[in-house]
Structure 1
Amino acid sequence: MTISVRAEGVERALVSDLSFTLARGETIAIAGESGSGKSLTSLAIMGLLPPPALRVSAGSIRLNGTDLTALPETKMRAIRGDRIAMIFQEPMTSLNPVLSIGLQLTEAIRAHEPVSKSEAATRALEALKAVRISEPERRMSQYPHELSGGMRQRVMIAMALALRPDVLIADEPTTALDVTVQREVLDLLRDLQREMGTAIILITHDMGVVAEMAERVIVMQQGRAVEQGAVNDIFATPRAQYTRDLLAAVPRMGDGSGAGSADAQTDIVASLRDVQVRFDICGGILSRVTHRVHAVENVSFDIRAGETFSLVGESGCGKSTIAKALVGLVPHQGRIEVAGHTLGGLNGKDMKALRRDVQIVFQDPMAALDPRMRVGDLVAEPLVIHDIATPEQRRARVAELFERVGLTPDHLDRYPHEFSGGQRQRICIARALALQPKLIIADESVSALDVSVQARVLDLLEALKGEFGIAYLFISHDMAVVENISDRVAVMYMGQIVEMGTRAQVFGDPRHSYTKRLMAAVPVPDPTYSRPPVARLASEIPSPIYKLGASPARMALRNVGNGHLVADALVGG
């Protein structure tokens, strides 16, 4: 199969001579760098290449002998979603923002099967329960913007699984998920495979997921398959240099040197004391407040200059809410002090000064970039807002930033949709670096990047830390990355910190049962590794929603030695 693009009268191959077969019940993984043609391959199989610019120019795609490239759109529509389903990389751009989750799920089921509305709703609810989303009944009536990134990805997986397809294309299906939910989803995909004989094409940059899930691996680079083979052979004896480089860049648990935190004498850049973030839920005829979401409860920590402080925990535990509170995007109770400014009651001028010192890189890069602006202008925008340098100097600065994050100055005049997910995230990182802030909040900032680019970006963040003394609040569910980049780590559960300490303390001597569970769920990039059996979570996932007047029990942190804090008891209520 060859996929070509026609631009200015010239046809250029984006994916060249790719060939593979997929047997019933088999999992084949396609791995490679961002922009290597992995996602284009999946779009071609689904018949979703945007005509007339992109097309399959040679070769064929056959499903049980039927050439999909020759089918008209009406026939392809009957196959798409029913016999071949796809889980996309960016859940927010794949879900309709004006339709409820329940309506989107039932619509997908009824489009392919002659069932009643109530039967489709029942099946939609079952699909949500299968992906272990908390309060599935309530999620049915919610809209995409009301869910966290991880929850949205689970909805996408539920939508794909609801019709029990023959072939499931999973494009980075666990990128937005924390390790415990990732473990559940991978187990779920394996169960589906066993029950239904579903074949899976797994597109991922997580070599741990490849090692655990795939039987065969295709390694792609610049639109070509550089190596194909059985998963054990690829990991044990990679032939291509690119494959060897890819495997060498994979972050592994236990690689962290265990260095302590930044010098205790350095200045505190950000300080949180008993911070609470709560959201009201209205109900009843009069729309009065009946319940409250306790997103963050009594969280306290400091971030010092030149330090990387990491927050880890499951989707919906309050990590991103803390990030938003730090930049004044959500109201909070308690005290937050950033770069000498106390948040709350700041006027416009002070808030603008604060935002020069604090920048944030969001989880979903497509939602964070204006689709109507060129990326060069997007990265230069902070410099324009703060009236820094001349237009020529700004463009030179942006070109330099692009090179620092692994892009080229040629990319400056393109639009966000012309980049892959990983490239868009690098653009967001470049924009955050433009003002050389004191604190950068990286909210899942490398989750969309393939491992080799991830390694380069993490090295870049580390170099900037040394060069400018930038502090990072690093929010991630990738425990291996957290161990390799962090000075100090805090583990969050249900809006509260349950363990906090240096990297060596938390990873070398985890005390809290939840921390141990997180670490046990991490995929290991070794196909010969035999994972010890772990009991599946059968209980309902706890909810942070309480009736008005009620609140969660407060967890007391106890110092178990040298500032290693562990929650071991429940205090108050």
Structure 2
Amino acid sequence: MTLAAIPAAPAGVADPVLSVQGLTVSVRAGGQDQPLVEGLSFDLAPGETLAIAGESGSGKSITSLAVMGLLPPPAVRATAGRVMLQGTDLLALPERAMRSLRGSRVAMIFQEPMTSLNPVMTIGTQLSEALRAHEPISRRAARARALEALQKVRISQPEKRLDQYPHELSGGMRQRVMIAMALALKPAVLIADEPTTALDVTVQREVLDLLRDLQTETGTAVILITHDMGVVAEMADRVIVMRAGRMVEQGPVARIFADPQAAYTRDLLAAVPRLGAGAARDGGRIVSLAPPVARLVDTVVRFDIRGGLLGRPTHRVHAVEGVSLDIRAGETFALVGESGCGKSTIARALVGLVPHEGHVEVAGQALNGLTAAGKKALCREVQMVFQDPMAALDPRMRVGELVAEPLLIHGEGDAASRRARAAELFERVGLLPEHLDRYPHEFSGGQRQRICIARALALKPRLIICDESVSALDVSVQARVLDLLGELKREMGVSYLFISHDMAVVENIADRVAVMFLGQIVEAGTRAQVFGDPRHPYTRRLLEAVPIPDPTVERPARPRLAGDPPSPVHPVGQGPDRVVLRDLGKGHLVAEA
């Protein structure tokens, strides 16, 4: 089978460019086929955007891999159905014929661009290789086409990017490279599998706008796989909702959002955090007069970049530059901003993991000059919950041992009392005591995050740092974890430093908010002040970029950013200008322009 054997869709004919009929994908386990996707059927029209939505494990990505012919044999395979690309059954094609179609007629953008790009090849080489694999063109012509593809995705300094390696680009730039590679051969179908999940909200907005513009120019049909219903509302023409490998509902996007028929669809939409919903919550007013649980005063964190023959510092990363804040007893203090703004560096400074200048204090104890015993005691007062619970849990230990481990390290109780405490914590976070002897891989993502929260509570800390702790979770699981954090705060009086780039989530959980940009706070105040009356242009830009889960809302056009984003890296001896915060009243601080 060759490319010439696949007929192109006639102009003006509304026949589907892709038709999936009764697709069943199964995994071989215990000598039997267990269906992962069962009886899925849909059509995709030229130029249409079809969103496949659902939680992790619903079969969305398995469906896309089946269409691309990338299912891992022999364990996972399509056991029934057809996938028709303009009249040709892709499931019946041998691998050699399918290889000639991938990229040229059907292309895919994966969730994490860094794992999709070869780290030892330049961007230009990878783009050229993809073009030459499908077209008989010279290296020079391929490089020219690669440059043209980068220009189309509006990446800054495209000539320079051709000779750079993937690690030299930001996440948003790498995703633009993947889009350029996918669209360079003008495929009939583009599958975008969670293309913006790992991106900041402003970069997500740029990537979605770009995909929409390129689709308009090329007429490519798009299958958008996502669990973000805000993205679905903005991008899709039609929606398929999947659960446990089966389609539970499909229809036009306006109808799905306005009148969902399936109970699961209604639950999925109800769990989506919405900007403005936090305004109805009775929060944002901290009445505690107790001393703050944590304080930063004029805190600075910098990292040297060495170069030259002698390896001397030539540049510095100004990760945190003169930040002052306090976290009060029983409050949720949120830090928001894009990747690289210094949010996680502040968290690491609070637990003593990075050297710092200025004053950092936890539970009345300054971190500078702490002895080893003092640092160990600090762990009783502050704990962290990380973004990826699977990476934070030792896969070789039972979860009961993991939750009890902080007690063992600090010499509290005997084995029986530690296990009893772990069982108590499991019940507190909504798990069962009989789960104590299981391993991390036996739990879902949301359950693993609950285990991490239980472990963080073991020593009864006064402050828990949640570093993007719900960003990788499905919306319904995310809602349950956020509800749990709120319950624990009310019942135990624990304080949270909640780090996120998801503004809708922050508005629904935070009492006070600080917005960071390039290592400095540019706006801070109560939730109502920052979200109800944003004064700094960067805060407004973050809020405007949040996807709105309502297809009837038309987003106003805004100017596209041009040029390279500003950088926190400066030559040694130079640095950023310090911002000056002005109090607008009642603690609402805004950086002066």
5+ residue gaps, structure 2: 1-22
Q: Quick one: distance in 2 between partners of 1:131 and 1:78?
A: 28
Amino acid corresponding to residue 197 of structure 2 in structure 1: T
1:113 is aligned to 132
Deviations 1:417-445 (A, max 9, x none): 67766665555445434444322221222
Q: Quick one: distance in 1 between partners of 2:188 and 2:466?
A: 38
Q: Quick one: distance in 2 between partners of 1:395 and 1:224?
A: 40
Q: By how many angstroms is 1:376 displaced? A: 5.8
Q: Secondary structure at the match of 2:580?
A: strand
1:70 is aligned to 92
Q: Quick one: distance in 1 between partners of 2:407 and 2:298?
A: 34
1:216 maps to which of 238, 246, 259: 238
Q: By how many angstroms is 1:87 displaced? A: 3.5
1:123 maps to which of 140, 146, 149: 146
1:358 is aligned to 382
1:36 is aligned to 58
Q: Quick one: distance in 2 between partners of 1:60 and 1:43?
A: 14
Q: By how many angstroms is 1:30 displaced? A: 1.5
Distance 1:361 1:243, change over 3 A: same
User: Conserved in 2, the CA contact under 8 Å of 1:309 and 1:488?
Assistant: yes
Distance 1:15 1:498, change over 3 A: same
Deviations 1:271-317 (A, max 9, x none): 11111121212222333221111121111100112111111112221
Q: Quick one: distance in 1 between partners of 2:453 and 2:173?
A: 26
User: Conserved in 2, the CA contact under 8 Å of 1:169 and 1:200?
Assistant: yes
My pick for the range that moved more, 70-79 or 285-294, is 70-79
2:221 is aligned to 199
My pick for the range that moved more, 153-162 or 450-459, is 153-162
User: Conserved in 2, the CA contact under 8 Å of 1:132 and 1:541?
Assistant: no
User: Conserved in 2, the CA contact under 8 Å of 1:34 and 1:420?
Assistant: no
1:337 is aligned to 361
Q: By how many angstroms is 1:564 displaced? A: 0.7
1:276 aligns with 2:300: yes
Amino acid corresponding to residue 152 of structure 1 in structure 2: G
User: Conserved in 2, the CA contact under 8 Å of 1:405 and 1:456?
Assistant: no
Distance 1:454 1:162, change over 3 A: same
1:57 aligns with 2:76: no
Q: By how many angstroms is 1:203 displaced? A: 2.0
Q: By how many angstroms is 1:459 displaced? A: 0.4
Distance 1:316 1:58, change over 3 A: same
User: Conserved in 2, the CA contact under 8 Å of 1:170 and 1:201?
Assistant: yes
1:314 maps to which of 330, 338, 348: 338
Q: Quick one: distance in 1 between partners of 2:265 and 2:554?
A: 23
2:4 is aligned to none
Distance 1:108 1:464, change over 3 A: farther
Distance 1:108 1:540, change over 3 A: closer
Amino acid corresponding to residue 304 of structure 2 in structure 1: D
1:502 is aligned to 526
Deviations 1:529-561 (A, max 9, x none): 111121112243111111111111110001110
Q: Quick one: distance in 2 between partners of 1:423 and 1:49?
A: 27
User: How many pairs were matched up?
Assistant: 562
Name which structure has the greater RCO, CA cutoff 8 Å, separation 6+: 1
1:246 is aligned to 268
1:292 is aligned to 316
Q: Quick one: distance in 2 between partners of 1:384 and 1:9?
A: 43
User: Conserved in 2, the CA contact under 8 Å of 1:479 and 1:519?
Assistant: yes
Q: Quick one: distance in 2 between partners of 1:105 and 1:392?
A: 60
2:559 is aligned to 535
Q: By how many angstroms is 1:408 displaced? A: 6.8
1:515 aligns with 2:539: yes
User: Conserved in 2, the CA contact under 8 Å of 1:157 and 1:173?
Assistant: no
Poorly superposed stretches of 4+, deviation over 6 Å: 133-136, 406-415, 417-420
Distance 1:284 1:20, change over 3 A: same
Equivalent residue runs for 1:58-207 within 5 Å: 58-90=80-112, 99=119, 103=122, 106-107=125-126, 109-113=128-132, 116=139, 120=143, 123=146, 127=150, 130=153, 137=160, 141=164, 144=167, 151-152=170-171, 154-164=173-183, 165-207=187-229
Deviations 1:18-54 (A, max 9, x none): 1112223221112222322223222333333333332
Equivalent residue runs for 1:521-560 within 5 Å: 521-560=545-584
Give the TM-score taking structure 1 as reference length. 0.87
Q: Secondary structure at the match of 1:554?
A: coil
Deviations 1:115-142 (A, max 9, x none): 6399659937964994757999589756
Q: By how many angstroms is 1:211 displaced? A: 0.6
Q: Percent of pairs identical after alignment? A: 67
Q: Secondary structure at the match of 1:16?
A: strand
Q: Quick one: distance in 1 between partners of 2:110 and 2:132?
A: 22
Q: Secondary structure at the match of 1:251?
A: coil
Q: Quick one: distance in 2 between partners of 1:113 and 1:95?
A: 17
User: Conserved in 2, the CA contact under 8 Å of 1:281 and 1:293?
Assistant: yes
Q: Quick one: distance in 2 between partners of 1:525 and 1:378?
A: 38
- Backbone CA RMSD of aligned residues: 3.3
Amino acid corresponding to residue 568 of structure 1 in structure 2: E
Equivalent residue runs for 1:435-446 within 5 Å: 435-446=459-470
Q: Secondary structure at the match of 2:45?
A: coil
1:17 is aligned to 39
Q: Secondary structure at the match of 2:269?
A: helix
Q: By how many angstroms is 1:393 displaced? A: 6.0
Amino acid corresponding to residue 45 of structure 1 in structure 2: V
1:347 aligns with 2:347: no
2:506 is aligned to 482
Q: Quick one: distance in 1 between partners of 2:200 and 2:353?
A: 23
Q: Quick one: distance in 2 between partners of 1:306 and 1:139?
A: 51
Q: By how many angstroms is 1:267 displaced? A: 3.5
**Bigger-Rg structure (1/2):** 2
Q: Secondary structure at the match of 1:235?
A: helix
Amino acid corresponding to residue 158 of structure 1 in structure 2: V
